[in-house]
Structure 1
Amino acid sequence: MSSQTRLLRARRFLPLFVTQFLGALNDNVLKNAMVVLLTFQAASWTALKPEVLANLAAGIFILPFFLFSATAGQIADKYDKAVLTRLVKLLEIGIVLVAGAGFVLHSLEVLLASLFLLGLHSTLFGPIKYAILPQHLGEKELVGGNALIEAGTFVAILIGTLLGGLLAGDLGGSGAITLVGLVFAVAGYLASRGIPQAPPPAPELKVNLNPIVETWRNIAFSRENRSVFLSIMGISWFWLYGAMFLAQFPAYTKNVLGGSETAVTLLLATFTLGIGVGSMLCERLSAERVELGLVPFGSIGLTLFGLDLAFASPAGPAGSDALGALALLEQAATWRILADLALLGIFGGFFIVPLYALVQQRSAAAHRARVIAANNIFNALFMVVGALAAAAMLGNGLSIPALFGVAALCNAAVAVFIYGLVPEFLQRFVVWLLIHSAYRLRATGLEQVPHDGAAVLVCERADAIDALLLMAACRRPIRFVIDRRLSHGPLLRFVFGECRAIYYDGAVPPAPTFSEIDAALAAGELVGLLAPHALSDAASAAPRLPVTLTPRGGLFSRIDLAVGAPAN
């Protein structure tokens, strides 16, 4: 049974998953239903143009992320997150009733107020759902839990968007919207009652309601760890990138592919389900641990398939009649476009899940929710900037396929920038690619490796491949002590250079090598000895963990790696 299957049967995860799924579903049902209803019946509600009304609604929904994310992060760090979740779900029930009152009173102001409150609901719940995962999940479950949350969120977005449109049109109008929203809200509250307690990490915290001061303080918390902050930048970029693609689907389908509304649904479903599949695959590809090597892999796919989508898109519709989803599928060119969208989603899942897990894992527990709140602020800011930039480029005559191509090239530039600042991502990718393309690795005993503090890994052989295998298995950075002659070739030089390997020349290391080892251990680093017979006097004060590697035959070379119990 996979860990994801086990999580979906565990009380410490399933109620949270159901709660967040229903919350995301309800947000999108209500939001999309309101937008569709107001767009097609704008004349009976207001004198504003439908396109102005749609953009106004989008702005009102996202405004609470800027105003209240800092406060939401403080509250999530100060109080029990399980209790907060139930209160947020009660708020959601009230929001649905406000929306229903807006429909009954035929009041645009009340409907827009309920939309603002929906944004507030999402703002409050965001830090809770991500900060609670490390409290209820083990280290090996964190990637699987995040994958399920991301997959569930995007599936909920897809279903909610489709259902909201149907409710606003053919399935009964405002009364049906209110009833369905109320059912989902009540079901979400009932699910939240099953979430186990999650004691607050900072109960003594005094909540500061000043959004400007607290926003800067949350950003400062997120900048304490460089890899965490740059992961937040990567997450925010992904939301900009993905939201930009999603926003163009209606116009792209109509004006480029010549498709109808059902064809829009086909593109939306393909892209969204791709993200779900990619998220779920992350755990398998990362061996149930936070594998940063998948992030560059994801960014490569996001760039390549974004560019291919731009080149695969036709110049314009072939005929004057709008094609439904089935008619569009009869065209051979459509399959390449759908493949690009699916692969964009899959590689997006590879990109986003490890970044969320890294933010949770490496941010300090005392202010983890506030770091996630900072992430939500940046997410909202990036999406707004992306929407404005896309509107400006399209307004100046750029075609939608060309916009996709520009976004893909920008994605490549952002990736190069981030990996230049944090080479650990690229180093992990090189190691992951080298190992998983040639070996099947099974590692045991990694729980013996301490999460922090000095320790020594003593390998039985002096071999660069052994070092790469150990890097691939252990998520904690290792400083290897290695004979310079073993680090041959540009890839190995890059990998060992980025892990700040301690080099020596010859069979017997000189005295400065032992001084460097002592300094690394004094700094609390994990040191890997590839030639223990020559370094037997090193690191006598640190726990020593024997590492054995046993190669076996097979389609790929099978390697069993075992880390023994520490000894001094």
Structure 2
Amino acid sequence: MKNFIQNKPFWALFGTQLFGSFNDNFFRSAFVTLITFHLVGTSETAISLFVSAGFGLFMFPAFLFSPLAGQLADRFDKSLIIRWVKISEVLIVTLSAYGFVYKDPYLLLATIFFMGVHTAFFSPVKYSILPDILPEEKVLSGNGYIEAGIFLAIMLGTLGGAVMIHLEISPFLLSFLLILVALLGLVCSWLIPPIPSRAPDLKIRASWTGEVKRLFRYTQREERVYRAIIAISWFWLVGTVLLSQLPSFIKDVIRVEENVFIFLLLLFTLGVGIGSLLCNWVFETKITTKHVPLLALLMAILLFDIANFGSPLSETPLSLFSFLRSFQGLRLTADIFVLSFVGGLFIVPLYAFIQTHVLPSKRSQVIAFNNIINAGFMVFASFASFCLLSLNVSIPTLIFLTAFGQVAVAIYVIRILPDSVLRYFLLKYLRFLFRFKA
């Protein structure tokens, strides 16, 4: 543990990631709050279009640039790429200052797109670099800290951006904070030592479709890696459905006050963070996937229970204190926390598995392919939710359908288990079966 704490390259990467994720979420939260509540003379339709466009413009670069980003990360020094990405972040948030000061939604939308490009190029590097700066037995811990940092940054950034706009804090101060955080990330990136290229002879391919097909074929040959990618992507789909529908679920379905939503959102973030941090202890520092199907099934059970909340908890909206005093309130609180905690235990070993089970020369490219699939699942979740809700499908029913999908994923990822583990469970089952018949 002492050696891990003293690993300066890792903590430099952690700081770079933490500040970058904070800025991403702070900026987008401030944008949504500004558009929704503080842009005078904007119709509800225009607000919805701006918010939807912001989501799309942030996600689109993950589709467009991830194949190129993965190749660059394998071809060149990863620390150099990180520094250039962080320099671009400083320039992007400086541009956003004009948009916040003059409340220009179109400039802010353009800035969101550039932030999406920044994230698309940073994401493959931040995961693929971990095995380069950590010994294999510490990769699981490293992923746990990174994931916990991501969700901490999401929580602080989302709340901070919304609060600063809601309290009408000076846009100059808001812009100063964005630039300061970007500069802190840049300073951290300069502390990451040079990382030798893993594929110095790699020829950069400009064809998007050709590169995606090539990576698809490669991961198909590595079946367990492909199934890990699908499992990770499904986790983000579930998160997208839950977090996007949680405000309406709180307000219109169980009918409690707004502070209950904030409490459950913080609880969800805290649960994922704690689950991520405890992975190393739970799995005893071993990178293993043998618990993944069971964790997926447990998540499905919790989703089914959340879907059972289909009516108001009281005739009048409950305060946070009254909510926590009720049995149903405690039950929903436990469901949300345990679901997020199990989610942290579920996703961290999968990232570590991919990092350690692909060739080092293809690691960044496979992670970039994973990012494309993740983005596709999240966009599908948003589109499917919109279509189903437009057909008057209730939010509890939507969560119920997601739980059914989670069961299917639990069955699908059984093949991620090593053959030795599958044989072990099969033998156990056969022995039980023959004893029962005897």
Q: TM-score, normalised by structure 1?
A: 0.72
The aligned residue for residue 78 of structure 2 is 81
Using the alignment, how far apart are the partners of 1:175 and 1:350 within structure 2?
40
Contact 1:218-1:373 at 8 Å conserved across structures: no
1:389 aligns to 2:384 (yes or no): yes
1:115 counterpart (112, 116, 127): 112
* Counterparts of 2:256 and 2:423, CA distance in 1: 39
Structure 1 residue 423: Cα displacement: 4.8
Q: CA deviation at 1:37?
A: 0.4
SS of structure 2 residue aligned to 1:318 = coil
Question: Which structure has the highest strand share of the two?
Answer: 1
Partner amino acid for 1:408? A
Q: 1:280 aligns with which of 244, 254, 277?
A: 277
Separation in 2, partners of 1:369, 1:408: 32
Please tell me whether the aligned partners of residues 236 and 377 of structure 2 are also in contact (alpha carbons under 8 angstroms): yes
2:198 matched to 1:206? no
Q: For the Cα contact (< 8 Å) 2:287–2:353, is it kept in 1?
A: yes
Superposition pairs of residues 34-433 of structure 1, within 5 angstroms = 34-44=31-41, 48-170=45-167, 172-311=169-308, 313-316=309-312, 318-320=314-316, 322-419=317-414, 421-424=415-418, 427=421
Q: Rg bigger for which structure?
A: 1
Cα distance in 1 for residues equivalent to 2:35 and 2:102: 14
Q: Which amino acid aligns with 1:424?
A: P
Structure 2 Cα separation of the partners of residues 107 and 61 of structure 1? 17
Secondary structure class of the residue paired with 1:73: helix
Amino acid at match of 2:171: S
CA contact under 8 A between 1:57 and 1:115: conserved in structure 2? Answer: yes
Partner AA of 2:290 in structure 1: G
Could you say if the C-alpha distance between residues 118 and 424 of structure 1 is closer, same or farther in structure 2, counting changes exceeding 3 Å? same
Query: How far apart are residue 169 of structure 1 and its match?
Result: 1.1
Shift, 1:180, TM fit = 1.4
Instruction: Provide the C-alpha distance between the structure 1 equivalents of 2:217 and 2:338, rounded to a whole number of angstroms.
Output: 35
RMSD in angstroms over aligned alpha carbons?
2.3
Identify if the C-alpha distance between structure 1 residues 8 and 314 changes in structure 2 by more than 3 Å, giving closer, same or farther.
farther
User: Match for residue 436 of structure 1?
Assistant: none
Distance 2:22 2:398 in 1: 29
For residues 174 and 187 of structure 1, the distance between their equivalents in structure 2, rounded to whole angstroms, comes to 20
Q: CA deviation at 1:491?
A: 6.0
Determine the C-alpha separation between the residues in 2 that align with 1:425 and 1:146: 25
1:153-173 superposed Cα distances (whole Å, 9 cap, x missing partner) = 111111111111101111505
AA aligned opposite 2:429:
P
| Residue 297 (structure 1) shift | 2.6
Q: Matches of 1:412 and 1:339 in 2, distance apart?
A: 20
Structure 1 CA distance for aligned equivalents of residues 157 and 431 of structure 2: 48
**CA offsets, 1:193-248, max 9 Å, x none?**
11122111112223233323222233333333111111101111111011111111
- Name the CA shift for 1:255/1:491 in 2 (closer, same or farther; >3 Å): farther
Q: Which amino acid aligns with 1:319?
A: E
Shift of 1:348: 0.8
How many residue pairs match? The answer is 433
**C-alpha contact (below 8 Å) 1:134/1:142 kept by paired residues:** yes
Q: Does the 8 Å CA contact 1:7/1:14 hold for their aligned counterparts?
A: no
Residues 351, 429 of structure 1: alpha-carbon distance in 2 compared, 3 angstrom cutoff: farther
Residue of structure 2 equivalent to 1:501: none
Which residue does the alignment assign to 1:523?
none
Q: CA deviation at 1:258?
A: 1.8
Whole-Å Cα distance in 2 between the matches of residues 345 and 68 of structure 1? 30
What are structure 1's unaligned runs of at least 5 residues?
Answer: 432-486, 495-568
> What do residues 254-292 of structure 1 show as CA deviations (whole Å, max 9, x unaligned)?
112323332211111111111111112211121101121
Aligned with 1:13: secondary structure? helix
Query: Deviations along 1:9-65, whole A, 9 cap, x unmatched?
Result: 321211111110111111000011111101113445689522222111111110100
- Distance in 2 (alpha carbons) for counterparts of 1:47 and 1:299: 38
Cα 1:49–1:430 shift into 2, 3 Å: farther
1:176 Cα deviation from its structure 2 partner:
2.9
Cα 1:493/1:371, change in 2 over 3 Å: farther
**Is contact 1:294–1:354 with CA below 8 Å preserved after alignment?**
no
Deviation of 1:82 (Å)? 0.9
The alpha carbon displacement at 1:7 in A equals 2.8
Distance apart, 1:73 and its partner CA: 0.5
Q: 2:423, 2:256 → 1: CA distance?
A: 39
What amino acid sits opposite 2:393 in the alignment?
A: L
In structure 2, the CA distance between the partners of 1:21 and 1:139, relative to structure 1 (3 Å rule), is same
Supply the distance in 2 between the matched residues of 1:289 and 1:157 (Cα, whole angstroms).
Answer: 28
Q: Distance in 2 between matches of 1:488 and 1:367?
A: 36
Change (3 A) 1:45 1:214: farther
Contact residue 292 and residue 425 of structure 1 kept, 8 A: no
Distance, in Å, in 2 between the alignment partners of 1:328 and 1:422 is 40
Deviations 1:475-505 (A, max 9, x none): xxxxxxxxxxxx97526699xxxxxxxxxxx
Distance 1:213 1:300, change over 3 A: same
C-alpha distance after superposition, 1:406-426 (max 9, x if no partner)? 21111001221232x445389
Give the partner amino acid of 1:188.
G
Amino acid at match of 1:80: D
Unaligned regions of 5+ residues in structure 2, if any? Answer: 434-438
- Conserved 8 A contact 2:287-2:352: yes
Q: Which has the higher contact order (CA 8 A, sep 6+)?
A: 2
Instruction: State TM-score, norm by structure 2.
Output: 0.93
When residues 173 and 315 of structure 1 are mapped into structure 2, their CA distance, relative to the original with a 3 A threshold, is: farther
User: Quick one: distance in 1 between partners of 2:267 and 2:422?
Assistant: 30
Of the three residues 30, 33, 40, the one matched with 1:33 is 30
Distance in 2 separating the partners of 1:273 and 1:488: 39
User: Displacement of 1:339 after TM fit?
Assistant: 0.4
CA 1:488–1:70: 2 relative to 1, 3 Å: closer
Separation of aligned partners in 2, 1:429 and 1:244? 36
Do the aligned residues in 2 keep the contact of 1:254 with 1:260 (CA within 8 Å)? yes
Between the aligned partners of 1:56 and 1:369, the Cα distance in structure 2 is 29
